[in-house]
Amino acid sequence: MSAYNTLDAAILNKIGGHPVKFVSIYVRDVVDECKYLAEATGAKEAFRLCDRRLQALRKAGKIKSTTKGWIRAQAT
């Protein structure tokens, strides 16, 4: 199990079929989890953890980036 499973689940919960901007993803439970992980890992800026996880989820093929925001990738 990855240390980021809770954060990934919270991020994926906010992303659906319609584009969602970063500012709509980085709220409440995502912020709390990012701050917790930032303290645990010694990261200086918690919002960068969210950005890194978005990129990791994109590379894993779970989400896609569009010009209007993030959307879930189509299951193939």
**Per-residue tens of pLDDT for the chain, all 76 residues:** 588 999 999 999 999 999 999 999 999 999 999 999 999 999 999 999 999 999 999 999 999 999 999 999 986 5
Rounded Cα gap, residues 17 and 63, in angstroms:
10
Q: Backbone phi, then psi, for 69, in 5-degree steps? A: 150, -165
Number of domains in the chain: 1
Do residues 27 and 10 touch, judged by C-beta distance below 8 A? Answer: no
DSSP secondary structure string, 3-58? TTHHHHHHHHHH--SS-B-HHHHSSHHHHHHHHHHHHHHT-S-HHHHHHHHHHHHH
Structure tokens at 58: 């994109």
The pLDDT of residue 2: 85
The pLDDT of residue 55: 98
Which CATH number do you get for residue 38? 1.10.10
Show the domain range for 16.
5-72
The pLDDT of residue 74: 83
